[in-house]
Amino acid sequence: MTSARMILAVALALATAVASTWTPRADAQGQTIKIGILFDHTGPFSAAGSLNCWRGAKMIIDYVNEKGGVLGKYKIVQVDGDSQSKAEVAINEAERLLNAEKVDILAGVYSSAHAVPLADKIDKQKKFLWITTAIADNVLKDRNLQYTFRPQPNGGLFGAYSVQYIAAYSQDRFKKAPKDLRVAIIYEDGPYGTGVAAANEAEAKKHGMQVVLKEGFSIQAPDLSSLVTKLRAARPDVLFHTGYAPDIALFLRQAKEQGLRVKAYLGHGAGHSQIDKLKEGFGNEIEGFHTVDPVAGQLLDPKKLKPGVGEMTQEMVRRYKVFEPNIPPQAIAPHVSMGFNNMWILLNDVLPRAIQKHGGITPDALAKAARETDIPEGGTMQGYGVKFLPPGNPMAGQNERAFPAVFQIVEGKFEIVYPKTVQTANPILPLAASSPFAAR
C-alpha cells in the first residue's frame, strides 16, 4: 500500500511539473500563443509614435499568422491594451492583460514614464515583458530584472550620438573646434527626457563643449515662452531638445514667434521623428531639423544586411500602405520599424528557441531563450544585432548591440547623416539661411 501511494505521489508530481511548463492551447484555431500588446492608442503619445509602433507590431503578427504561426503551427492571439498616454492607465491595462486576459507575454510600451514602474511591477510577478520602444536607461539600470528584455537602443546612446555627430562636423561645418561650441539642452522632465539630457551633457563635457543652458520642462506646460527667453539670452550654437509631440509643437511655435535662432537643432525620437505631424504644423520650416532614433528599416541598403532581412523590410513597407496609402517609403516613421522589427525578433528568434529548447513559453523558458539570443550586426531590419546583457550587469536585459542613428530632414524627407557607415546623405550644417530658425 505504501509503495502504491509513493508511486501515485510521484505520478502526481510529474503531472504537475509537466502542466507547469506549457501546454499549447487546443481550441478551434489550434495551438496558440497569447501576446498582450500595450501601446497608447489615444492621448498625445499616440501621434508622437506610439500608434505607429502598434501598427508595426500588428503587421508582423499578422504576417507570422498568415505563414502558419510561430514554427509554422503556433498562432499568435493579439490582445491589445490602450495606455491612453497615462502611467496609471498603463499599469491597470498591464494588470488586465496579464491577470484577466492571461496573456503569455506582455509586449510594447512606448513611454519610458510608463515603462519604469511597469518593468519593476511585472518582473516582481515573474511575468515576461518585451519592451519594443521605451528607451530610458533607468527602465533597466541597476534593477537586475530577470524577465524584462529590451532589443531597442537605450536613451544614453541617443544623447551621446547627437553630441558625437555635432563634434564630428564642428570644425568642418561651423568653423569651430568642439570646445568653442555653445550648446543648450532642453528636455521633458520625465525618465525619457532626463536620461537623454544627462547623456547629452556628459558627452558634451567630454568634448569640451560649453553647455550654456540645461533645463527641463513639464510636457503639461501650457507656455514655454520663458524657456525660449532663457535660450535667446544664452545664445547657443546648437540646441539639443528631447520632448514629445504637443510640447515640441508648442516650443517651436513660441521659438519662432520670439525669434530664437541657432545653427543646428537636434531632437531625440518621439515627436521629432513624426515628420508628417511636424509638417502639419510647420510645413517646410522643419527642413534641416534632426532626430535621433533607431534606423528606419527602409532607409538601409538591404545588401548590407543578412540574407532574407531586406525582404522582411519590403514586407513592412508593403503592409504599411494599408494605414497610409500615399506615403512615400522614405517618409515612414522609424517607430513603424521599431514595432515591426523588435516584435519580429521575439517571434522569429526567442519564441522558437523557448519552445524547442526550453520546453514551452513560461517566463523562465522565455528568459532563458532571450539570454541565448545572438544575432550579429546586420541581422535585423534596423541593422543592429541582438545580444542581451546578462543578470548582474547594471543594464541586465538591454540589447548591447543596438544603436541609433542621426536623421536629418533633407528635401522634405528623412536621410541618415550619422554614423557615416550607414549615411544616406551629407548633412546640411549649419541650418540654411532660408530657415526661420537659422542663426543670422
Question: What residues contact residue 5 under an 8 Å CB cut-off, 6+ apart?
Answer: none
In 3D space, the residue among 104, 52, 149, 141 whose CA is nearest the CA of residue 375 turns out to be: 149
Contact present, 353 and 359 (Cβ < 8 Å): no
The span from the CA of 316 to the CA of 383, in Å, is 15
- DSSP lists the bridge partners of residue 39 as 82
Domain membership of residue 246 (yes or no) is yes
Whether 343 is covered by a domain: the verdict is yes
Are residues 217 and 355 both part of a single domain? no
Residue in 232, 254, 233 with CA at minimum distance from that of residue 243: 254
Based on the fold, state whether residues 164 and 94 are members of the same structural domain. Answer: no
Rounded Cα gap, residues 232 and 249, in angstroms: 18
* Domain boundaries, position 416: 156-293+404-422
307 assigned to some structural domain: no
Q: What is residue 174's DSSP assignment?
A: I
The predicted pLDDT at position 421 comes to 77
Q: Are residues 138 and 180 in the same domain?
A: no
Cα–Cα distance for residue pair 427/411, rounded to 1 Å: 12
| CATH number for the domain that contains residue 63 | 3.40.50.2300
For the whole model, what pTM was predicted? Answer: 0.83
Domain-embedded: residue 4: no
Q: Is 346 helix (H, G, I), strand (E, B) or coil?
A: helix
CB-based burial label for 121 (10 Å; 0-12, 13-18, 19+):
middle
> What's the rounded Cα separation, in Å, for the pair 133 and 91?
16
pLDDT score at 273: 84
Is residue 429, in this structure, part of any structural domain at all?
A: no
> What gap in Å lies between CA 102 and CA 80, rounded to an integer?
12
Crossing angle for the helix pair 87-95 and 112-124, to the nearest 10 degrees: 30
Counting the structural domains of the chain, the total is 2
- Is residue 143 domain-shared with residue 244, that is, in the same domain? no
Q: Is 15 part of any domain?
A: no
Asked if residue 147 and residue 67 are part of one domain, the reply reads yes
Whether residue 249 sits in one domain with residue 213 = yes
CB 135 within 8 A of CB 158: yes
86 and 212, same domain (yes or no): no
Radius of gyration of the chain (CA): 23
Q: 171 is written with which cell numbers?
A: 570644425
- Cα dist from 107 to 48, 79, 230, 279, whole Å: 19, 10, 40, 30
Given 371, 392, 414, which residue is the final one in a domain?
Answer: 371
- Same domain assignment for residues 105 and 128: yes
How far, in Å, CA of 91 to CA of 96, rounded? 9
Number of C-beta neighbours around residue 368 at 10 A: 16
DSSP state of 87: H
Q: Let me know: does 161 contact 207? Beta carbons within 8 Å.
A: no
Give the whole-angstrom CA distance, residue 319 versus residue 323: 8
Is 101 in the same domain as 244? no
Question: Residue 21: which of 351, 360, 267, 298 has the closest Cα?
Answer: 360
The predicted pLDDT at position 152 comes to 96
In a domain, 431, yes or no: no
With a cut of 50, list the residues of the chain below it in pLDDT. 1-29
Q: Which residue has the cell 503639461?
A: 220
In a shared domain, residues 202 and 342? no
Domain membership flag for residue 434: no
**Whether residue 228 sits in one domain with residue 177:** yes
Question: Are 259 and 408 part of one and the same domain?
Answer: yes
Residue with cell 536620461: 195
CA distance 202 to 353: 39
